[in-house]
Structure 1
Amino acid sequence: MPSHPSADRSADQPPGRGGSVDALITQTRRLRGQMDAVRRETETQSDTADPRGRWERALCELASHQLRDLDVHLAQLRNGPPPLPTAPAGPAAATAERSAAPRGALLGAVGSAEWNLLTDEAGWSDEFYEILGRDPATPALTLDELPSVVLEEDRPLLTAMVTGCLVDARPIDGELRIVRPDGAVRTVHLMGEPVLDADGSTASMWAVLRDVSALRHSESAVRESREALRHHRHGAGAEQRLDRALRDGVPPAWRGCRPLARRGRPAFECAAHHLPAAPGSGIGGDWYDALELPDGDTLLAVGGLTGHRPALAADMAMLLGAVRGMAMAGAAPDRLLAWLNQLLDTTGRPALGSAVCCRYRPATRTLLWARAAHPAPLLFRDATGRALDAPDGVPLGAGPDAAYGQAEATLAVGDLLLLHTDALLPGHGGAPAADRLLGLAPRFATARTARDCVRTVVEECGTGECAQEGCVLVARVVS
């Protein structure tokens, strides 16, 4: 490195003390107290497994440590630079002095040094020795020897900074990695200025060295936590989009009115609606179907499925396909539910379901139905409503040998049948939920279509209070 270059301008000298520093120290310590309170609250409330919680804790920890570092810097500014020793004071005295020196948790140490370019002498503070991991009893390294403690990849940067400082009077300001005698690699921040004599020649150079290893580690923890949070959110969004795509691919595609005919004559007018879940509550497995069967009967079904996404949507599609296939093969509702139960039991994925399946025979206006732990259909006639008497039925997937009862009801032209899922009325389980829907009977009596009836249900039950998704199916006998 160059030893005696000259510069074209005088370098700024280290800043002096000022009375305003004490006020800054007071403000910093007050802010530290507030920040520590926020950090303790974050540690108490945040979930250790939540990426957002880890990110918040890392940011609070970093901010708290940086305020401690600022406190130390301000105290050093108030007290002035430490005197540079002319001779080593011995290992024991240096160790005691280093232990007494204040420093922030992320600071490690802040040391100062000066190199006399005219005599090739160097003076380091005890903290400078500590950062480099060297014994204060040994002579300080000259500028030519200093690169020996710097990681080989960073030596060109050190050379460029020192040369620019001594030749062009540019301030030194950069980060390097040093290798301590024990092999540990530390990241340090080096700042320095040239000091010119009366003739404009560079007489010496002073520098301040700060150990920023812990600071960079904390900043890296913040970045990693933020990236983990970003991936977590992206993954959750992708999973939700996949769920919705699978859900949208599950039949039936119709949402409005749908006439179900028997030999050209309408037997049922059907309408259905799917109420989306509240934001952040995930996607459930509620489903519905209405289908004219080959023998002229009509299938009406509503159900719900629990499980883990995205397998939930796939299981729902499988279950609905099975319902259609078995109904078209002529299975009665009780036998259909028993086979569905066995099907869920053989999937190998833990899942429970509820369902109500109805088979309507237009020739006799007879409704055969069975349920699996599901609300009974509601029958509305002459501006009044009632729940059909429910047969026994355990949840789907509860056991391979479950049996299901079957009930029968006779319908009349103009009757309205309403099937719904439990989640349609959150917080109103059991009889109160049915009573709330039955209270809509006068409005159903004046509705012109099944779709109008569904719209009434949505206005009553789908105004943002649903914690889960739900669905409703309305079928009106027209012949």
Structure 2
Amino acid sequence: MPSHLSADRPAAQPPGRGSVDALISQTRRLKGDVDAVRRDAEGDGTPDHPRERWQRALYDLALHQLDDLDEHLAQLRDGPLPTAGKAPSGARAQGSLLSRVGSAEWNLLTDEASWSGELYQILGRDPATPPLTLDELPSLVLDEDRPGLTAMVTNCLVDARPIDGEFRVARPDGDVRTVHMMGEPVLDTDGSTASMWAVLRDVSELRRSQRVVSETRDSLDHQREAARTEHRLAVELQEAVLPPWRGSLRLPHRGPRTLDLAARCLPAATRTLIGGDWYDALELTDGDTLLSVGDLTGQGVGVTSNMTMLLGAVRGMAMAGAPPGQLMAWLNQLLDATVQPALGSAVCCRYSPATRTLVWAQAGHPAPLLFRGGTGRVLDTPDGVLLGATSGAVYGQAEETLEADDLLLLHTDGLVPGHTGAAAANLLLGLAPRLAAAGGAEDCVRVIAQEFGTSEREDNACVLVAKVTG
């Protein structure tokens, strides 16, 4: 804006039309590039996700600012609208996008005011009416913004300070607009303030876009904080319910024939939410050992809470003497009757050390893998559907006699990233030579974690290894 600090200073000459046209062309190319990026981004992700809404709001704000720049450069090239009573019809009449910037000058010596045609449009006033004086201008401003406008004008007239601030005006049509005002005092030859000159810009849409960005950012921050809190609660709940032992464990605690046990949970790559995966090993009252792994669909505190309930039920029913097949049927009935129905898969094994007999049942879950003599195989799978899939389901049982140094591997889906079913089992069976050379159960778990624990996995997974000793 040309400086008016001195009445004797000549006004700056406007830039050449060709240079402004070049700036307009560059601005429009940039608008096209931003709009193309925005359209590409809209094809990715989830539209209703807070992060996606925040990104859309930022793109809209950037495009809005570029629109303003385009319009302001066009106004700079074409010149201001005529003052009151001379506004032409057509492309630059009332409602033109170029009407968002206007100018005014208030002569303090004659008490005269001069407004551009754009300023009448911004304030919603009839161009046939005389412009308001500085004393009358606050009558258009909202009550809470009047002190700020008064302070800006006073500082300009008394202390010769430039004006740079915003206020809201209530137009006669009831619309409230936000106006950004920049102004300077015009000094007389004796140094006193002769008049005040200002440029006023309607920034209502710009501020609206900025509010949307702020609100979506706040929503995203709130969601992130909620996710962090939920993740922390889910982790604490999972750690509280899963077996507290680290390293290897021997069950039963007494007797020459025991199982050397080790287990580990492998987190998803995102580490955002904890799922319903579990593993468990428990010595029963008759000296048998319960082994189980399972997974509930979903993620978060609710799923982890349901997993806690289910694991508690597994332990209680096993302690009461329920065989694996009956235990699965009761688990299915329990999950089907919960307030928040869910689907789950599980494997439950009961190992008798006296006879080295393993009895097991499954509910839509990967079968255990048995490694012996440097090779491995998948155990024959008894019938069993997902927990919670249907009422009154019946679950079969299978029996396997183990030998000394046999290795049993139980796991949940997702242990082998990108592979499920037979493909995942084949990759795990391919570790047979390394597992045979590894030694104890904890060493075997370490081999599995080294092979599959560093890959990008979409979900959490658990692995439980039991090695027959004695």
Q: Report the TM-score, using the length of structure 2 for normalisation.
A: 0.91
The farther-off stretch of 174-183 and 273-282 is 273-282
**Alignment partner, residue 360 of structure 1:** 351
| Counterpart for residue 38 of structure 2 | 39
Q: Distance in 1 between matches of 2:409 and 2:38?
A: 53
Contact in 2 for aligned 1:11/1:169 (Cα 8 Å): no
Tell me which amino acid in the other structure corresponds to 1:71: D
What's 2:147 paired with? 156
Amino acid at match of 1:454: V
Tell me, yes or no, if the aligned pair for 1:9 and 1:169 is still in contact at 8 Å.
no
Deviation (angstroms), 1:152: 2.3
Q: Quick one: distance in 1 between partners of 2:44 and 2:298? A: 29
- 2:339 aligns with 348
* 1:355 to partner: Cα distance: 1.4
Query: Which amino acid is the alignment partner of residue 293 of structure 1?
Result: L
| Pairing 1:374–2:365 present | yes
Q: Report the secondary structure of 1:265's partner residue.
A: coil
User: CA separation in 2, counterparts of 1:282 and 1:10?
Assistant: 68
The answer to whether the aligner puts 1:128 opposite 2:119 as a matched pair is yes
Q: Give 2:14's aligned residue.
A: 17
SS at match of 1:423: coil
- Asked whether 1:114 is paired with 2:105, we answer yes
Relative to structure 1, the CA distance from residue 211 to residue 262 in structure 2 (aligned partners, 3 Å threshold; closer, same or farther) is closer
Aligned to 1:294: 285
Change (3 A) 1:271 1:46: closer
Cα-Cα RMSD: 2.6
Identity of aligned residues (%): 64
Structure 2 residue corresponding to 1:393, chosen from 374, 384, 390: 384
Corresponding residue to 1:192 among 180, 183, 189: 183
Task: Give the distance between the partners of 2:457 and 2:174, measured in 1 at CA.
Answer: 61
Match of 1:259 in 2: 250
Whole-Å Cα distance in 2 between the matches of residues 13 and 76 of structure 1? 22
Structure 2 distance, partners of 1:451, 1:443, is 13
1:383-414 deviation line (CA, Å, top 9, x unaligned) = 23222222111111122211111122222222
Could you tell me how far 1:280 is from its partner in structure 2?
A: 5.5
Question: Shift of residue 344 of structure 1?
Answer: 0.8
CA distance in 2, matches of 1:82, 1:99: 9
The reply to whether residue 99 of structure 1 matches residue 98 of structure 2 is no
Of 402-411 and 376-385, the range deviating more from structure 2: 376-385
Pick which of 28-37 and 296-305 moved more. 28-37
Where does structure 2 lack aligned partners over 5 or more consecutive residues?
A: none
Alignment of 1:444 with 2:423, yes or no, is no
CA distance in 2, matches of 1:386, 1:180: 81
Conserved? CA contact 2:243–2:280, under 8 Å: yes
Taking the aligned partners of 1:457 and 1:97, their CA distance within structure 2 comes to 72
Amino acid aligned to 2:402: L
For the pair 1:435 / 2:418, whether they are aligned, the reply is: no
Q: Which sits farther off after the overlay, 210-219 or 370-379?
A: 370-379
Q: Secondary structure at the match of 2:358?
A: strand
Residue pairs, 1:418-429, within 5 angstroms: 418-429=409-420
Q: What is the aligned residue count?
A: 465
Q: In the superposition, relative to structure 1, how do residues 12 and 131 fare at CA in structure 2: closer, same or farther (>3 Å)? A: farther
Question: TM-score w.r.t. structure 1 length?
Answer: 0.89
- Tell me, what secondary structure is at the counterpart of 1:249? helix
Task: Tell me the distance in 2 between the aligned counterparts of 1:195 and 1:143.
Answer: 15
Residue 232 of structure 2 corresponds to which residue in structure 1? 241
Instruction: Classify the secondary structure of the residue corresponding to 2:414.
Output: helix
- Which of 174-183 and 23-32 deviates more? 23-32
The 3 A distance-change label for structure 1 pair 262 and 133 is: closer
Tell whether 2:322 aligns with 1:323.
no
Deviation for aligned residue 1:258: 0.6
